[in-house]
Amino acid sequence: MTNPEGYSPGLEGVIGGITSIATVENGLCYRGYPVEELVKECNFEEVAFLLLYGELPTAREYNEFASRVYAARRLTLPIRDFLKAIPKWTMPLDALRTAVSALAHSDQDVEDNTREGNLRKGERLIAQLPVAIADHYRFSKGLQPIQASQELSQAANFLYMIRGSEPSPEDTKAMDVSLILYAEHEFNASTFTARTIVSTESDLHSAVVGGIGALKGKLHGGANEKVMPILEAIGSKENAESWVMASLQRKERLMGFGHRVYKKGDVRASILKPYARQLAEQKNLMLWEEIAEIVEEVMAREKKMYPNLDWPAGRLYHAMGLEIPIYTPIFAMSRVAGWSAHVIEQLGNNRLIRPRALYQGPPLRSVKPMDQRN
């Protein structure tokens, strides 16, 4: 079947709305700032403020924003009891999805869809998602959760709550860079889901729950969890090229490569790659970096496909000693800043998102009585 004029499968290339938050044209910019510069000059908190409020913070604005976010790093007792009670095999992203839904019940601004109300809720969710991930992780291991710090940065506090000890400056910086790079990416699947939800005049928590649901799929957020299994399946540098060639011959999709928008490579992957390599060198894990390099070379040569952000992120988190099931939740705890910004923008000039479908079913027909149906 040929595609009729005006129809684009997966809405590829279709303009779905207007935004001033981010663009992926000629790289990636947040509010006009190239991510390369943001990574170099800012931390995640500054970038989250930029996404929410439209400008980078002054020193006073930064301190006030950080104080509000750090003070909100807590969950209600019923939510913590829920995270402790759910089956140990519950996937962390599923636990996070339900925790966000439950957080709405204790947020007095839940029905406030003004810009100011959503800014307050967005700040709180930026604070609460890392806590929910860390608490569930430790409960699932039979460990007591670690109380959040009111002093550490987002990156450092998350690693502290997972591990129970403060991270090194190198781990903190690498985590911070990954959070900045995952924070926003224009009209991706989860963000478009969030905008569609609030276009009905629903609420921010519902939009974030929907965003997490969209993020669960391996074609969007789950790809970073597939990186280490690929490298471990390859096993050695000597096996790398033949393994990739065999995979391509079987027409298998290699997760961590290719992107709907970036055809010549994802700038975020090139930014994060040196951090993954640095940690691998520190922790005697260079085998995975060496295999990854060969895989990249073969994919570029054979398919003209290049790494996306998930490819180095999976290796980076592995070098930090983090377990694979929390990789996509880390994506979510970063992207909640972008989701919140898009919710606020959508509601600021809202129109219900309601596309049409191209019908190709049976032609018009009449209903027959049951005894006349074949």
HEC profile of 124-149: HHHHHHHHHHHHHHHHHCCCCCCCCC
Domain span at residue 299 reads 224-319
What CATH number is attached to the domain comprising 292? 1.10.230.10
What does the pLDDT look like over 318-361, one tens digit per residue? 999 999 999 999 999 999 999 999 999 999 999 999 998 889 99
pLDDT band at residue 197 under the 50/70/90 scheme: very high
**In this predicted structure, what is the pLDDT of residue 6?**
73
Separation in Å, CA 367 to CA 100, 109, 236, 364, 370? 46, 50, 63, 10, 9
pLDDT band at residue 216 under the 50/70/90 scheme: very high
As a whole-number percent, the residues of the chain with pLDDT over 90 amount to 87
Please compute the mean of the pLDDT values over residues 106-117 and round it to a whole number.
Answer: 96
Same structural domain, 55 and 34: yes
**In this predicted structure, what is the pLDDT of residue 253?**
87
Within a domain: 22: no
Within a domain: 355: no
Give the closest residue to 295 by CA, choosing from 322, 347, 256.
256
Report which of residues 7 and 123 the model is more confident about.
123
Please compute the mean of the pLDDT values over residues 204-221 and round it to a whole number.
Answer: 93
Same structural domain, 78 and 198: yes
**In this predicted structure, what is the pLDDT of residue 260?**
65
Token output for 47: 């970038």
Residues annotated as catalytic are 259, 310
The answer, yes or no, to whether residue 43 has pLDDT greater than 70, is yes
What does the pLDDT look like over 18-36, one tens digit per residue? 999 999 988 899 999 999 9
The total of structural domains in the chain comes to 2
pLDDT band at residue 259 under the 50/70/90 scheme: low
Based on C-alpha coordinates, what's the Rg of the chain? 22
**In this predicted structure, what is the pLDDT of residue 66?**
98
Average pLDDT, the chain: 94
Same structural domain, 344 and 207: yes
As a whole-number percent, the residues of the chain with pLDDT over 70 amount to 98
DSSP reduced 3-state for 199? helix
The answer, yes or no, to whether residue 257 has pLDDT greater than 70, is yes
What does the pLDDT look like over 138-169, one tens digit per residue? 999 999 999 999 999 999 999 999 999 999 99
**In this predicted structure, what is the pLDDT of residue 12?**
75
Same structural domain, 276 and 334: no
Same structural domain, 146 and 40: yes
DSSP reduced 3-state for 23? strand
Same structural domain, 296 and 340: no
Same structural domain, 315 and 334: no
What does the pLDDT look like over 280-299, one tens digit per residue? 999 999 999 999 999 999 99
The CA distance from 92 to 94, in Å, is 5
The answer, yes or no, to whether residue 220 has pLDDT greater than 90, is no
**In this predicted structure, what is the pLDDT of residue 235?**
96
**In this predicted structure, what is the pLDDT of residue 205?**
98
The CA distance from 338 to 20, in Å, is 12
Same structural domain, 148 and 81: yes
